[in-house]
Amino acid sequence: MGYPDQRFDVNLSILFTELPLLERPAAAAAAGFSAVELWWPWIETPTPGHAELDALKRALDDAGTQLVGLNFYAGRLPGPDRGALSVPGAESDRFRANVEVATAFVASVGCRALNALYGNRVEGTDPAAQDELALENLVLAAHAAHGIGATLLIEALNAPESPHYPLVSAPAAIEVVDRVNAATGLGNAKFLLDLYHLSMNGEDLGQVITAYAAKTGHVQIADNPGRGAPGTGSLPLERLLDELADAGYTGHVGLEYKPGDRPSAESFGWLPA
């Protein structure tokens, strides 16, 4: 057990960002990783041209890296936004336009997980109306993901850093997962369990793992405080990952931490060789 038995992947939207996007897969491979994940890389558009999509696919293929997770279009991320699917008007429209593009891309690279960030509450908008729109769009995304044999992920963030995001606890995210699965009957909506975010919310991580491992489709980690590499904070990440494995989780664990002031390639000293 412990770190040597985990299937780690690198999130290329927070690590190796000192490099251009198309150079990051090769950098991850050089650091010893065969699997990567990404936030939606084209912040300015939900529907990039074929040339951009093909270039990213080529970069992943040439590096020998497998994409294991991709965010749907989520607005300005990193930035003030936390998703688009519950935001009425243009952002919801962008999310819907992105569903087909993102789904086709992950199918083309053999990825089987799509993360749908819920979106912030909008001042002056009825939260119930936002939740209704969110369910509508998540059902659309779940059907698209099902069409390629993929999982739809729903993520809880943390309240201190995302004060306008409504899903800031594991139970809140699980409620949405259950609602989507009830609406579609497909069962392909799963929880994205991010130990950093949940710890920032003050949740009992062992209790969350026991309660929700069976509904978890992906796991992400960073240490707390600081969102740095394991060992830079006080979270017992190795033990928590063992607990997840004991509870039946066999998927990848995404490294979604900040490398600090050093190059990303130098931030993996905590990993066994």
Tell me which residues are annotated as active site.
155, 256
CB proximity list for 182: less than 8 A, separation 6 or greater: none
Residue whose token pair is 């963030």: 157
Q: Is 95 helix (H, G, I), strand (E, B) or coil?
A: helix
Other CB atoms within a 10 A radius of the CB of residue 152 amount to 27
The separation between the first and the last C-alpha atoms of the chain, rounded to the nearest angstrom, is 15
C-alpha closest to that of 82 among 122, 24, 139, 136: 122
DSSP letter (8 states) at residue 72: P
Asked whether 224 and 237 are in contact (CB, 8 A), the reply is no
**Interatomic CA distance for residues 167 and 119, integer angstroms:** 9
Q: Is 76 helix (H, G, I), strand (E, B) or coil?
A: coil
Asked whether 39 and 13 are in contact (CB, 8 A), the reply is yes
Supply angle C-alpha 48, 70, 15, rounded to 5. 100
**ω into 171 cis (within 30 of 0):** no
| Amino acid at the residue 84 | A
Q: Is 189 helix (H, G, I), strand (E, B) or coil?
A: strand
